[in-house]
Homo-oligomer: A and B are copies of this chain.
Amino acid sequence: MADSKKAKQNHEEENPFEEMIKRLDVAAKIMKLDSEVYEIMKKPSKLVYCSMPVKMDNDKTKVFEGFRVVHSTALGPSKGGVRYSTYVNENEVMALAAWMTFKCAVADIPYGGAKGGITCDPSTMSKGELERLTRAYTNAMVDVFGVDKDIPAPDMNTGPQEMAWIVDEYSKLKGGFTPGVVTGKPIHLGGSLGRSEATGRGVMTATMEAMAKMGLNPAKCRAAVQGFGNVGSITAKHYEAKGLKIVAISDHTAAFYNPDGIDIEKAIKYRNSNKGVIKGFKGGKLISNEELLTLNVDVLAPCAMENQITDENAGKIKAKLIVEGANVPNY
C-alpha cells in the first residue's frame, strides 16, 4: 500500500499551519470573531525548539530536534500529545497545537491547547535510545511542562512507556513524584482506567448521537472503518456492539470487504498474532483503501491518518454519515 508514501507526500506538499489558518478564517467570519481576539488566536502563544545530542547504542552522538508549542492557555493549562516521527516540523506542531485549543474549547473543558514532537524515526531506534531521547526532551522542556502549565500526552508513536519516562525525569528534576505532569501514563503510575479505549468509544458515541439525529437505526446500518490501530479497531468493536454491521476494515497493509459483516473480534485476534497488521486476514475480500472509502455504506469512519478525504475522492463517497476518528485530540 502507498499509504505511508502518500502521507509523506502530504507532509511535504501541505503547510498544516496555513491549512489551520484557512479554516480559522472561515470560522472567524461566521462567528464574527473580534479582530483583536482573532490576531491572538492566529499565533501560538509559545514555541520551544531544542536540539538534543543523544548517545546512540553504537556510542556515536546523534543530534535530534524537538518541538513543543503552546497555542493558548486562556482556558487553563495547555494539553496536547507528543509525537515521534520523521515528519514532525514546526508548522505541523503549530497547527496541531491550535487544533487542541479549539477542541478543548468546543468540548468546554478547562484546558488550553499544545502539541509537541521529535523529528526521529522511532522504528529504527532501540528502547535505550528512545529512553535517552525522551529524557533529553523532558530536560529541554522542563520549564514548559507542568501540572498547572502544560501537560503532554501520547500521540503518534508514543504511549504509556514514553509518558513514564517523562514522569520519571520530570519528577527527578522537580524533586518529587509528579505523575500529573502527563496524561496517558501507565495505570500503575496513576494512569486513567479506560484511556486506551477512549478515542474509539468516543467515535462510537458521536456516531450514535448523529444517527439518532438523522433517524438512522444502527441495527439496519452498514459501516466501513478505515484504520485498524487503537482507534479503528475499538471503534469497530463498539459499532458492532451497537448493532452496526461492519462491512469493511483496513490498515496500511490491507483492506477487506465482507457484505455479511466482518467478525471484529476475529480480526483483532488475527492482528494481535500477526505483528499488529491485518494483511492476510481471511474474514473478507481484499479491496483497496480507495474502494473502502467509496463503498455503499451508511457510516464511514476514517480512523487512520488525517486528510484521507480529498477533493478527488469526496464526490465519490456514498456514506450518509462520516465520523472522523483520525484527528481526534489527544488529551
Interface residues of A (CB under 8 A from B): 36, 39-40, 42-51, 53, 60-63, 65, 73, 75-77, 110, 139-140, 142-144, 146-149, 171-173, 175-178, 188, 190
Contact = CB atoms under 8 A, between A and B. Distances in A.
Contact of A43 (B51, B61, B140, B177): B51
Given A50-B46, A139-B172, A146-B176, A61 B73 contact: no
Nearest to A190: B110
Nearest to A143: B143
A173 B175 CA distance: 8
A1 to B, nearest CB: 35
Given A40-B53, A43-B63, A143-B175, 12 more contacts: A39-B62, A43-B65, A44-B51, A45-B51, A47-B49, A49-B49, A75-B188, A76-B177, A77-B176, A110-B188, A172-B173, A173-B175
Nearest to A71: B51
Given A110-B190, A139-B172, A142-B175, A49 B51 contact: no
Contacts of A77: 176-177
B39 A63 contact: yes
Nearest first, the 10 A-B pairs at minimum CB distance are: A143-B143, A148-B176, A43-B51, A47-B49, A36-B61, A148-B177, A39-B63, A46-B50, A149-B176, A40-B53
A307 to B, nearest CB: 26
A47 B44 contact: no
Contacts of A175: 142-143, 146, 149, 173
A71 to B, nearest CB: 10
A34 to B, nearest CB: 10
A102 B147 CA distance: 30
Contacts of A144: 143
B48 A46 contact: yes
20 contacts: A39-B53, A44-B49, A46-B50, A46-B140, A47-B48, A48-B48, A49-B49, A76-B177, A77-B176, A77-B177, A110-B188, A142-B175, A143-B144, A146-B175, A146-B176, A148-B171, A148-B176, A148-B177, A149-B176, A173-B173
Most buried by B among A42, A48, A149: A48
A148 B43 CA distance: 30
Contacts of A60: 36
A47 B178 CA distance: 22
Nearest to A44: B51
Contacts of A172: 139, 173
A172 B149 CA distance: 11
A207 to B, nearest CB: 30
Nearest to A172: B139
Nearest to A144: B143
Nearest to A76: B177
